[in-house]
């Protein structure tokens, strides 16, 4: 078998038909998590919970990202150990399976880090705690948790924003 060589000076196609676009089998973990969230009515619940914090007037700016998409991006950051919004936005934009998890089509842009920051500032801290409890409750009901005790040790440090 002959060795393939990487082509460095090639021209990309100008047009690609939809049937030639790359397809992802999806990540089994995120597919299962999406099924669990759908069964529990997560998107309807979080949209109703976040509605008071959004303007009801449609005349100002673009529509924001759905709260379900925002919190799924935060879950990606948590599960993959990504601690910056830029890192989360980059990872979600770069992965076909994560785009599927977020409910984004191939022609939609994934939310960027500034959109994540605006959304984070819009929502009060208790909403984040409620979402975390919601997801933990689903995991406990499905017997996906095996731990009995959690210990947290923390220290407050001054640091530059990443």
Flag whether the pTM goes above 0.85: no
DSSP secondary structure string for all residues of the chain: -PPP---SS----S---GGGS------HHHHHHHHHHHHTTHHHHHHHHHGGGS---TTSSSPPPPHHHHHHHHHHHHHHT--SHHHHHHHHHH-HHHHHHHT--TTSPPP-HHHHHHHHHHS-HHHHHHHHHHHHHHHHHTT-------------------
Q: So what's the pLDDT on residue 108?
A: 85
Neighbours of 89 (CB within 10 A): 22
pLDDT tens sequence across 67-119:
999 999 999 999 899 999 999 999 999 888 898 899 988 778 899 999 899 88
């Amino acid at each position: 078998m002959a060795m393939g060589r990487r082509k460095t000076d090639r021209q990309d196609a100008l047009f690609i038909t939809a049937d030639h676009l790359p397809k992802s089998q999806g990540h089994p973990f995120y597919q299962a998590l999406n099924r669990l969230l759908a069964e529990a009515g997560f998107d309807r619940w979080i949209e109703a919970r976040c509605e008071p914090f959004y303007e009801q007037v449609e005349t100002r700016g673009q529509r924001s990202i759905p709260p379900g998409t925002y919190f799924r991006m935060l879950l990606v950051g948590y599960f993959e150990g990504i601690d910056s919004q830029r890192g989360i936005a980059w990872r979600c934009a770069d992965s076909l399976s994560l785009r599927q998890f977020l409910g984004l089509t191939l022609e939609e842009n994934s939310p960027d880090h500034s959109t994540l920051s605006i959304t984070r500032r819009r929502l009060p801290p208790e909403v984040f705690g409620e979402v975390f409890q919601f997801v933990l409750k689903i995991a406990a009901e499905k017997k996906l948790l095996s731990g009995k005790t959690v210990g947290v040790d923390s220290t407050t440090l001054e640091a530059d924003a990443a």
